[in-house]
Amino acid sequence: MQIVATLTWLTFHEARRRRMVVAALLLGGLFVGLYWLGLQAIVNEMNNGDVPFLVRQGAYNFLVVAALYVVHFLTVMLSIFASVDAISGEIATHTIHTIATRPIRRWQIVLGKWLGYVLMVTLYLALLCGGIFAVSWLAAGYLPPNPIAAVGLLILEAIVLLSLSLLLGTQFSTLTNGVVLFMLYGLAFVGAWVEQIGAFLQSSAAIRIGVISSLLMPVESLWRRAAYLMQLPLANAVPTPFTSASLPSTAMVIYAIGYALLALLLALRVFGRRDL
Amino acid sequence: MTNTSAISTEALRKEYGSNVAVADLTLDVPRGEIFGFLGPNGAGKSTSVKMLLGLVQASSGQAQVLGTRPGTPATMRQIGFLPEHFRFPEWLQAGELLDLHGRLAGLDSATRRRRSAEVLELVGLSEQRTRPLSGFSKGMLQRIGLAQALIAMPALVFLDEPTSALDPFGRMLVRGIIRELKQQGTTVFLNSHLLGEVEATCDRVAFIKQGRVLHTMPLDSSTTTQLVVELRVGAAPPALLAMLEQFTGNAVQIQPPDTATIPTNGTTTLALLLADPTQLPALAQHVIAHGAHLYALTPRRTSLEERFLEIIGTSDSGQ
């Protein structure tokens, strides 16, 4: 466990030394700050005019979900960019040689890195989402339903992507890994829209395409579920970009957990057997 | 395979698809030996080392390192490794890199601090402890790599081309370190194609080509039986030559005078082959007793380079 902890620490240390932490915190802070300014302006406007309570709640809700959509997008980017080079890069530069010849098991290297990235992205998501919820509460006195569950789903998105990225990194070059991850994400993104439109048009073939793409890459459907959970029941009945006509079920969440777990276990196993 | 072997392999083989990297590696390196692994580029030296370190799985054959299977944590606890392509996380400071490797090797914090200082001193980088590796020259990186390999007091050290990036001072330093390791009883597996370096440090060498050991030979002068002796005398009358031929049991050659480098001053240089270096004092006595003027008596081992070309070259002609 000490070995895994050392390698986890190393991942954090690298992010800090390479100024990734500073950059992410600064830009994250900027994002939350801008969001605050914008929200405050809207709140002032609403307070001046005579806007009905329900309309106001609907607007605040839309704004929080929109901000979280940005965070979801950042989660995808951050998870891929942070980890895509983690294993393949060290193999390509031979940095792995001196680490792997220490009295440790290979899987400890992968698990240490995985834990490092998961903790880092989780912490960052908690800060960003916490910031948005805090701003919404302070400026508008509004909190969406199920905030914790929504953040949990975003964290699960990160875990799915990080696990898959490390698995692909044990086999492919950094470039191939990145291309595959983005293609899979693109597929899931388009698939999700096909599924939504299919649900409106009641086309079972379109829904099936969406489900299959979500099975290949469950990240987008996790976001759909998070957005659904955070919206008012009324808002979910009105079509907006965040409305889910076809709602990803809890089975999809369980599937995503299994997907991540399997990817991680495979990564640990595959890396243990490959030639370095 | 015995327990006194640091490394022992039997028909070790590695194939990558249809490409055979190592064909048949059979080796035995006793504990405490400085072992030189010689061969041309692409002979399979690095792949062999990687198999012995568990980085690469052998396709077939047997290998034992320090009495156990290669690559197990118990084995690796006693092993240090400086790879050929040494690369380290450049955002770490020199001291941090050593601390990291100490941690991974399972050293406690007091030992890590002590050993870090010791190995930094050993490779002459004590002043650079808090400097980030990103600012290091290639030679400094190779030195810190050597320090890293030695941090956990290994019983067996693999050095893959350890002086490839070093200047002559750095090379001297590494030679000194290898000699020090020998005194401590550490086994050193030296992978190199710098023959002079191998000659200066190794007890024994193996010549490898296309993943096969062609020849192994000791380099220690006490075990080398034959040596060439150069004898410079005032004159070489037939009686002296006859006496020398009788003494050595071999033909004596009169060397053509090499006036370009050494003024002959009327002397003659003879080359003769001695069966054993212990005959050297007796040879001198015989020459003087014979009444000849002895100017120089220089024992010369055949250079490793000559042997290398001979062994690798011979097998080449057969391909």
Question: Do B22 and B90 sit in the same domain of this protein?
Answer: yes
Q: Give the one of A14, A101, A105 whose C-beta lies nearest to B89's C-beta.
A: A14
Q: Give the one of B55, B88, B89 whose C-beta lies nearest to A101's C-beta.
A: B55
Give the CATH number of the domain where residue B292 resides: 3.30.70
> How close B256 gets to chain A, by Cα (Å)?
53
Q: Is residue B140 part of a domain?
A: yes
Residue numbers in A near B104 (CB within 8 A): 3, 6, 99, 102-104
Amino acid of residue A9: W
Q: Of A192-206, B13-27, B127-141, give the lowest mean pLDDT range.
A: A192-206
Cβ proximity of B177 and B276 under 8 Å: no
Contact B91 A95 (CB under 8 A): no
Question: Do B208 and B240 sit in the same domain of this protein?
Answer: no
Report the SS3 class of residue A104. coil
> What's the per-residue H, E or C state across B192-237?
CCCHHHHHHHCCEEEEEECCEEEEEEECCCCCCCCEEEEEEECCCC
pLDDT bin (cut points 50, 70, 90) of residue B269 is confident
How far apart, in whole angstroms, are the C-alpha atoms of residue B273 and residue A192? 86
Question: Do B102 and B198 sit in the same domain of this protein?
Answer: yes
**Given this model, what pLDDT does residue B231 score?**
85
Q: What is the DSSP string of B235-269?
A: ---HHHHHHHHHHHSS--EEPPP-TTTS--TT-EE
Residue B77 has φ and ψ, to the nearest 5°, of -60, -30
Tracing tokens 């006693």 back to the chain, one arrives at B78
Query: Average pLDDT of chain B?
Result: 86
Bridge partners (DSSP) of residue B190 are B36, B159
**Given this model, what pLDDT does residue B217 score?**
82
Q: Say yes or no: A273 contacts chain B, CB-CB below 8 A.
A: yes
Q: Please, is B295 exposed, middle or buried when counting C-beta atoms within 10 Å of its C-beta (0-12, 13-18, 19+)? A: middle
Give the residue ranges of DSSP H helices in chain B: 45-52, 73-76, 94-104, 109-122, 138-150, 168-183, 195-201, 238-248, 280-289, 304-317
Q: Give the one of B77, B81, B91 whose C-beta lies nearest to A98's C-beta.
A: B81
Q: Is residue B34 part of a domain?
A: yes
Give the residue from B218, B248, B283 where a domain finishes.
B218
How far apart, in whole angstroms, are the C-alpha atoms of residue B79 and residue B67? 13
Report the pLDDT averaged over residues B54-65: 93
Question: Do B121 and B249 sit in the same domain of this protein?
Answer: no
Q: Give the one of A6, A98, A105 whose C-beta lies nearest to B83's C-beta.
A: A98
Contact B85 A94 (CB under 8 A): yes
Residue numbers in A near B74 (CB within 8 A): 103
Question: Do B89 and B191 sit in the same domain of this protein?
Answer: yes
**Given this model, what pLDDT does residue A169 score?**
95
**Given this model, what pLDDT does residue B317 score?**
40
Question: Do B190 and B241 sit in the same domain of this protein?
Answer: no
Closest CA to B283 of B298, B266, B265, B301: B298
Put simply, the chain A residues between 87 and 116 with a CB less than 8 A from any chain B CB are: 93-95, 97-105
Residue numbers in A near B83 (CB within 8 A): 94, 97-98
Question: Do B151 and B273 sit in the same domain of this protein?
Answer: no
**Given this model, what pLDDT does residue A237 score?**
64
Q: Is residue B305 part of a domain?
A: no
Contact B57 A273 (CB under 8 A): yes
Residue A93 neighbours by CB under 8 Å, 6+ apart: B85, B87
In chain A, which residue's Cα lies nearest the Cα of B100?
Answer: A6
**Given this model, what pLDDT does residue A240 score?**
65
Tracing tokens 């466990």 back to the chain, one arrives at A1
Report the SS3 class of residue A241. coil
Question: Do B168 and B293 sit in the same domain of this protein?
Answer: no
Q: Say yes or no: A14 contacts chain B, CB-CB below 8 A.
A: yes
Q: Is the pLDDT of residue B222 over 50?
A: no
pLDDT bin (cut points 50, 70, 90) of residue B302 is low
> How close B85 gets to chain A, by Cα (Å)?
6
Give the residue from B188, B218, B248 where a domain finishes.
B218
Q: Rg of chain B's alpha carbons, rounded to an integer?
A: 24
Domain that holds residue B188: 5-218
Cβ proximity of B232 and B269 under 8 Å: yes
Residue numbers in A near B55 (CB within 8 A): 97, 100-101, 275-276
Q: Is residue B317 part of a domain?
A: no
How far apart, in whole angstroms, are the C-alpha atoms of residue B10 and residue B65? 12
Report the SS3 class of residue A191. helix
Question: Do B159 and B109 sit in the same domain of this protein?
Answer: yes
**Given this model, what pLDDT does residue A18 score?**
86
> How close B92 gets to chain A, by Cα (Å)?
8
The H helix count followed by the E strand count for chain B is 10, 13
Bridge partners (DSSP) of residue B273 are B228
Q: How many structural domains compose chain B?
A: 2
Q: Say yes or no: B89 contacts chain A, CB-CB below 8 A.
A: yes
Question: Do B195 and B293 sit in the same domain of this protein?
Answer: no
- Write the pLDDT tens digit of every residue in B64-84: 999 999 999 999 999 999 999
Put simply, the chain B residues between 120 and 139 with a CB less than 8 A from any chain A CB are: none
Q: Which two tokens stand for residue A17?
A: 């030394």
In chain A, which residue's Cα lies nearest the Cα of B77?
Answer: A103
Question: Do B151 and B27 sit in the same domain of this protein?
Answer: yes
Question: Do B249 and B199 sit in the same domain of this protein?
Answer: no
**Distance in Å from the first CA to the final CA of chain B:** 32
- pTM summary value: 0.83
**Given this model, what pLDDT does residue A71 score?**
93
Give the residue from B218, B238, B271 where a domain finishes.
B218
Per-residue pLDDT of chain A (276 residues; tens, 9 = 90+): 889 999 999 999 998 888 888 998 999 999 999 999 999 999 998 888 778 888 888 889 989 999 999 999 999 999 999 999 999 999 999 999 999 999 999 999 999 999 999 999 999 999 999 999 999 999 999 999 999 999 999 999 999 999 999 999 999 999 999 999 999 999 999 998 888 888 888 888 888 888 899 899 999 999 989 998 988 776 666 666 666 666 778 889 999 999 999 999 999 999 998 998
